Amino acid sequence: MGHSSQNQTEPPKLRSKVEIKTDKISNLPSDVIEKILLLLPIRDAVRTSVLSRKWRYKSATLPNLKFDSLSVSTVKQTTFANIVDQVLLLHIGPICSFLLSRPDDFLANSDIERWILHLSRNSIKEFTLENWKSHLYEMPLCFFSCQDMTHIDLYRCLLQPPSTFKGFRSLKSLCMENVTLAPDVFKNLIVCCPLLKTLRLLNCDGLRHLKMDAPKLELLEVEVDEGVFEMVNLQNTLNLADVSITLAINDDLRQVPDSNLVQFFVHFPHIRRLTFGRNFLKYLAVRGLPGKLPQPCLCLKFLSISIRFKALKEILAALCLLRSSPALQELEIFAHHEDRDVVGEVNSWLDDNQNCQFTELQRVKMISMSGGKHELDFIRFLLLSSPVLERMTVKPASYNGYSELLKKLLLFRRASLCAEIIYLDP
C-alpha cells in the first residue's frame, strides 16, 4: 500500500517540472511568432535562430526586411553590409518588402546594387531606398526589371531607365523625394504604370511639365520648392479624390490660351480633398477667371489654399472655387505674405459676392492672419455666408496687433447662430 501511494504522488511532481521547462513562446502559432519577429530589429530577429531547433529557420522566412540605423545599430560599413548579405543569403521564401536607410556615407554603391539585383530575382513587392549620401544614387538597370513591385519609395536617387523599359505594370504606389528624373522619364513612367493609385512627388528635379495620364490614380501629392515649373496637365485622371500641390515658382509663369483654373479641374470631377500650397493658386489665376467652374466640384468636402490677400486675382480664384463647391464642409486658408504692392483693386470683390451662400460649410481655419483689411473682409464674408458654420479657428501671424484683431473678430455678425470663433496664439 505504501509503495502504491508513492507511485500516485510522483507523477504530479514530474508534470510540474515539465510545465516549468515548457517553451510557451515556441508553441505559439506561426503567424504570432512572425509578428513578434517583425517587431524586433533585424539583427535580433536573426539571432533567435540559435535559441532552439524550432527557431532555426523562423527569421529566415520573414517576408519584410528592414535595414536602418534602428534595426542595425552598427556604424561600420563592413559589418552593416555583412549583415544584409547574410540575411539575404540565408533567406527562405518570398521577400515582400525591403527597406534600406542609412544616415551616413558608409555604404558602397556596389553593395546596394548587389542587393537590388538579388531582390530583382525574388519578386520583390515593396521597395524603399533612402539614400543619405552627399551625392544622388543612380538606380541600377536591374531595378527596372522588378516587374512585380506594387510600392516604390525613393529618396535622393537618380532615375534613368533604359530605352527598353516598359514601366512597372503592377505598381500601385510611387513616392519620390529629392529624386532627379532624366528628360521625358516622368511622362513615360506614369503612362507605363496603368495600376498606379498613389503618387507623391516631393522636390523632384525634371518636372518642368507635370503631365500625366493615370486612369487609376486616386491620390496625388506634388511639392516643387525650386527650379522652373511651367505646366500642370492632368489627363484621364477621373478617379482622383485627393490632390495636394505646393509650388514655389517665380513670376515667369507660362501663358496659356485658356484659364489655368478651368483646365485644371476638367479631369477630376470626383475630387474630395484639395490642397493648394504656396503659389499654386497664383498659377491657377494666371489667365481668365470665371465666376464658377463649368462643372462644379460636387464631391469636394475639404479645401485648403494658400492665398495672397493683396492679389485680387487670387481672391477671385478662391471665390470661384468656393462657389463651385456646393458640398464643401471644411475650409482651411493660409495667408501668404509678400512685401509687394497691392496687385489689382481689392475693394469691390466683397460687394459683388454678397449673395453667396455656403450651405454645407461647417469648419473654417484662417492661419497666419496679420489683421489686414483684406483678410478681415474675407473672414467677415465667410461668417455672413455660412449659415451652418460650427467653428471658425483664427491663428494670427504674430503677436503684433493680437488683441486688436480679436476685438474686431468678436464684433463680426454671423449667419449661423451656433458659430463660435476660436482664437489661437501665434
How far apart, in Å, are the Cα atoms of 335 and each of 2, 87, 268, 364? Answer: 94, 51, 26, 13
Query: Long-range pairs for 75-82 at CB < 8 Å and ≥24 separation?
Result: 75/104, 75/106, 76/106, 77/106, 77/107, 77/108, 80/106, 80/107, 81/107, 81/108, 81/111
pLDDT tens readout for residues 189-208: 888 888 999 999 998 887 77
| pLDDT, the chain, mean | 79
Percentage above 90 pLDDT, the chain: 31
Say how far apart CA 46 and CA 164 lie, in whole Å: 39
pLDDT tens readout for residues 382-398: 999 999 999 999 988 87
pTM check: above 0.75: yes
DSSP state letter for 5:
H
DSSP state letter for 343:
B
Half-sphere exposure of 234 (CA within 13 A, CB side): 27
pLDDT tens readout for residues 300-311: 999 999 998 888
How far apart, in Å, are the Cα atoms of 318 and each of 217, 251, 262, 278, 411? Answer: 25, 19, 13, 14, 25
pLDDT of 422 > 70? The answer is yes
pLDDT of 221 > 90? The answer is yes
How far apart, in Å, are the Cα atoms of 165 and each of 116, 162, 185, 413? Answer: 17, 5, 10, 61
pLDDT at residue 330 in the model: 97
Task: For residue 10, count other CB atoms closer than 10 A to its CB.
Answer: 9
The C-alpha cell that represents 393 in the structure block: 479657428
pLDDT at residue 250 in the model: 56
Question: Binning pLDDT at 50, 70 and 90, where does residue 281 land?
Answer: confident
Say how far apart CA 198 and CA 312 lie, in whole Å: 34
Q: Which run of H or of E encompasses 112?
A: helix 109-120
Question: Binning pLDDT at 50, 70 and 90, where does residue 322 land?
Answer: very high
pLDDT tens readout for residues 21-71: 555 555 556 666 556 555 566 666 555 554 445 554 455 667 888 888 776
Query: Backbone phi, then psi, for 202, in 5-degree steps?
Result: -115, 110
pLDDT of 298 > 60? The answer is yes
Task: For residue 277, count other CB atoms closer than 10 A to its CB.
Answer: 19
Question: Binning pLDDT at 50, 70 and 90, where does residue 18 land?
Answer: very low
Domain ranges (residues) in the chain:
94-207
Percentage above 70 pLDDT, the chain: 73
Say how far apart CA 55 and CA 286 lie, in whole Å: 65
Average pLDDT, integer, range 109-126: 92
Half-sphere exposure of 141 (CA within 13 A, CB side): 3
Residue 403, SS3? Answer: helix
Question: Binning pLDDT at 50, 70 and 90, where does residue 115 land?
Answer: very high
Residues 6+ apart with CB under 8 A from 263: 233, 256
pLDDT at residue 19 in the model: 46
pLDDT of 10 > 60? The answer is no
Residue of 165 and 6 predicted with greater confidence: 165
Strand partners, 159: 181
pLDDT at residue 80 in the model: 80
